[in-house]
Every structure is written in C-alpha cells, then in structure tokens.
Amino acid sequence: MALPQMHFKRGSTKPELPDDGVLRYFTMAFCPFSHRIRLMLAVKQVPHHTIYVDLIEKPEWYKDYSPLGKVPAVQLTNLKDQPTLVESMVIAEYLDEQYPGSGRLFPTDPLKKAQDKILIERFAPVVSAIYPVLTCNPNPPADAIKNFEAALGVFEEELGKRGTPYFSGQAIGIVDYMIWPWFERFPSMKINSQYELDEKRFEKLLKWRDLVAQDEAVKKTALDVQLHAEFQKSKTLGKPQYDIAFKNIS
C-alpha cells in the first residue's frame, strides 16, 4: 500500500495502514535524527511503511505512537501489542541486533561498543552549537561558529587517532552513520550563510565525508543540498515547508 508523500498535520485523518506485520517508520523528511534511522533501514534492507509527520502541527493521533510527539518512531507491528520505539540511538541499536544479516554496525566487543556510543554522544555539542546557523536563525550566538568548530575538532582529532578511513575502521559502521546526517546538511550553510568547513583544519573529516558520500545507503537516503537549504530558509520565516522534500518526485 502506497502512502501519500506528504507530512500529516493537525486535523488530518489517521492513515489506514495495512496490518501486515511490516515495520512502521514515523519520520520528518528533514530531521537528522530520523535520517539516522532511514540509513539503518537502508543498510539492513528492512521492509517498512514510511509515515511523515509535521512537527509543528502534529496530528492528534500521533501521540498514540510517540507520546512526546518526537520523531523518529518505529512501530514493531510483528510483535504482540505492537510496541513503538523512540529515540534514534535506541532504535538504531535495536535494528542492528534484530537484523544482523548484513553485518553488525555496532562493535561486538563491549568496550569498543561503549566507546563508540560515547563518541556519538560527544557529537551533541556539535549539533547544539551549529543549530542556530544551520536553521538560518537571523540572530545566532556570536560564538556559534567558534563553538561548532571546537566541538567538531574532537572528531577531526579522533579520526587521526584511529588512523582508519572510517570511524569504525576499514569499513563503515555505526559512528559513521550516526553522525553523517549533519554532514549531509553542513554544505547547505554555504548557500544560506556563506560558510564552509576549512579544508586545512578539517582535512581528515572532509576526506571522510567524501568517502562516506559514496556509500550505497547514504546515496539512497540523500536529499539534495539545495533542498536542505530551501527547507532551512523556510524555517527562518517560521513556516517550515516540510513537503518540499517531495517536489522533485513525480
């Protein structure tokens, strides 16, 4: 059953979803945290229904799936009571464990797994620092870029310490996928704010970015940088245009 390519809003009728045991993925097209799960579903080749949710005018029925109204959310319709998972890292770890066929993305060694999860958590200061700039806030903090580059420097240094093409080693893994969504969005700042990452300061990260961009799951889930820029600009006006994600789809 094909669902309409639109974000369901307040007052919208709850979509009729087939009771076929196929996983249901609730998302917003431009949400980087939801992008994490879009990547996981692509890598693991998990069949799923995608339901898009407007995060400003959330449909009333969405609280039945995500009490806090957040995305991503994944409903496990093949299990008794059809539970729903929220929080991107929780969902990512669940999918990695439940669908190991294509290879595990989290390290199997407990210590390495813990260290990778810590590193992913350390990306939070990167996100919080750049968010006002990335979303075209007309009055971002004066030190936003400085704080962003300082936080991102942790990852430039860590990639050097690991001495491998990916954070996860010789092959792409969980750290790479979990931080990638923001790297897909960073180039849009050149369009809206005339900012781009310094080639010398972030030499390793930029090489890593070019490498990850060639990954099949990354290419399959990518949105064009111009679309990201347009969406971010629409947020400046206080009216996010979620459905522009579909404007080039016939």
Which domains can be identified in the chain, with CATH numbers?
Answer: 7-104 (3.40.30.10), 110-232 (1.20.1050.10)
CA 208 to chain centre: 17
In this predicted structure, what is the pLDDT of residue 156? 98
**pLDDT of 134 higher than 80:** no
Q: Parallel, antiparallel, or unpaired for β 73-75 and 48-53?
A: unpaired
- How many beta carbons lie within 10 A of that of residue 221, not counting itself? 21
Tokens at 105, concatenated: 């993305």
Gap between the Cα atoms of 4 and 187, Å rounded: 29
Given a cut of 50, whether residue 174 has pLDDT beyond it is: yes
How far from chain centre, in Å, is Cα 75?
18
- Residue numbers annotated as active site: 31
**Per-residue pLDDT tens digits for 4-63:** 689 999 999 999 888 899 999 999 999 999 999 999 999 999 999 999 999 999 999 999
For the cut 60, the answer to whether the pLDDT of residue 2 exceeds it is no
Structure tokens at 138: 């007309």
> Which amino acid appears at position 101 of this protein?
G
Give the model confidence (pLDDT) of 201-235 as tens digits: 999 999 999 999 999 999 999 999 999 999 998 98
Distance CA 69, CA 248 (A): 28
Average pLDDT, the chain: 93
Coarse DSSP helix, strand, coil percentages of the chain, rounded to the nearest 5 percent: 50, 10, 40
Residue 142 pLDDT more than 90?
A: no
pTM of the model: 0.94
Give the angle 134-43-148 at the CA atoms, nearest 5°.
Answer: 20
